Structure 1
Amino acid sequence: MDKHPVANHIQSHRSTRKFKNTRIPEEIIKEIITSAQWAPTSHNVQAYSIISITDQTLRVELAHLCGDQKYVKEAPAFFVFTADFYPHSLISRRLEVPFEMEETENVIVGAVDTALAAQNALLTARAYGLGGVMIGGIRNHSEKVAKLLKLPEWTFPVMGLCLGYPASITDQKPRFPLYGVLHENHYDANDIEKAIVEYDERTLHYYSNRKPNPKQSGWSSQMAAYLSTPRRPGVTAFLKKQGFKMK
């Protein structure tokens, strides 16, 4: 069976971190953001906003807060995808009805809506010959980012997105074996260890041959290190400060 062009487009994903110093036409930017708006959304809530960062001083500050990721300040375009229930709070206030936002479900809805919009944006950007990389580091210092971007209550940054014309093409990072991801009717743990071993072999080969920044480690050792320490412990306190009590 011939692979469908859309499937081929999606499955050719790779992160781009080096960009040409070429401006992205405004009409393409508008198409990218319009595609983001057509992502699936829970109950048509559309719980996100997209902030285009064009001020270079602000870019430099955000790059530092993201862990000194230089492509945040160097990419031709950088967006911050933000979960956003602020418009909904205004509606509830205007209509004088309760604004029930204390459940953890609302954080999940906001994060999912925002992530789906960001993925649509990246896929559309790539269709126009651009490359990009998602920036989870935007949550490293959520409160400082919120202050810089003047985020109101009922909002929180979910991810950044760097976009531009690729200066180089990187190798694709392998993915977990399909049989370790796809289950039928119920979760089947029988082959998970086998999938991990297989994936460790593939990722060790990928990382040891990667240029630049080769590594002599596979997926298991990287995940063990990644999950052995608390991740962004300030996020919960920040979300509660923004109004999300997460009961």
Structure 2
Amino acid sequence: MNTQTFSLTLGAPVPDWQARPHPAGVVLTGNACRLEPVDPARHSDAWFEAYSEAPGGRDWLYMLVGPFPDAQAYRAYSERMARETDPLHFAVVDLGTGLPLGTLALMRQQPQHSVIEVGFVTFSPVLQRSRIATEAHFLLMSYVFDQLNYRRFEWKCDSLNQRSSNAAERLGFQYEGTFRQAMVYKGRNRDTAWFSILDKEWRLVKAAFQQWLAPDNFDATGQQIRRLQ
């Protein structure tokens, strides 16, 4: 068929296109933390103790899972996490203490389109709003863009979860819109807010992370001098 007979606009060509690899259970090490595959025997009890510091299961409110009534129930969940490959879960380990303080995952993997999503971000109270939390996201982004060479990295959350939306924008994700009535979970409606970072944006986002994570960006008490956002 002669496509020149149609006055239609097409998307930009992607020369020599090839599908990207699936993510693997690698170890990613930074200055303050390490991402590693989930190991229930080493991680589960420490996670449950760390998560228990949040009153009333508040941090599980917008999650698809949890809260968990006891360590045994959480251990069963962590064993399921360890078996999954999509989502592919990583433990966030504090290099200073050696303690696992949270998890995050690479999910909805579409290597044929070079699209992947970060999800199941479950950070304990001690990890939230910390230098380690920011570095954990940076390590995962660097893996996605610099090693796997993906074109698009997504973040999605309940549109009512303002903390998650704020975190996405602080980390460099661009808001794209809200999918109405996208999901039912825990017996309630979810409108889903979509955010993304594209490969062509990664250079600037990466530079901002590197400047923020530099030692000279923190004072003697460990507080940031320049904001990431």
Q: TM-score, normalised by structure 2?
A: 0.29
The answer to which structure has the higher strand fraction is: 2
Q: TM-score, normalised by structure 1?
A: 0.28
